[in-house]
Amino acid sequence: QVHLVESGGELVQAGDSLRLSCVASGRALNPYTLAMGWFRQASGKEREFVAASRWNGRTSYADSVKGRFTISRDNAKNTVYLRMNSLKPEDTAVYYCAADPRWPFPKPRTDIDYWGQGTQVTVSS
């Protein structure tokens, strides 16, 4: 199994920037094969794909965050980051770290192999 722990979520104002972190561990962890990414779930809505990064740095983004969010990873630290710029109130959600060996990274929530517990991001207007 792979264990994922997110951190960095907090209350910010619209237009601010924030960086989330996710540390991965476990016997099944292989930084050279496991893709990692982020989903988010707003209150009353379904969990949706945000961004993903392959071991070699290849990335993908949801249309709603392209140009504002940047995903990166440090394989030596088994850590993936999500830098969020120009935050909007609509970005308010619980952000979940995710991991899956497939690429392109699966977008349906039910296809993801591993999940973190989530970290709350709240953007005030």
- Give yes or no for a cis peptide into 89 (omega within 30° of 0): no
CA distance 36 to 116: 11
Beta strand pairing call for 93-100 and 119-124: antiparallel
pLDDT, position 36 = 95
pLDDT, position 27 = 81
CB 20 within 8 A of CB 82: yes
CA distance 46 to 108: 10
pLDDT, position 30 = 76
Strands in 1-125 per DSSP E: 3-7, 11-13, 18-25, 35-41, 48-53, 59-61, 69-74, 79-84, 93-100, 114-115, 119-124
* Structure tokens that stand for 82 in this block: 């999500």
List per-residue pLDDT tens for the chain, 125 residues long. 899 999 999 999 999 999 999 999 988 777 678 899 999 999 999 999 999 999 888 999 999 999 999 999 998 899 999 999 999 999 999 999 999 999 999 999 999 999 999 999 999 99
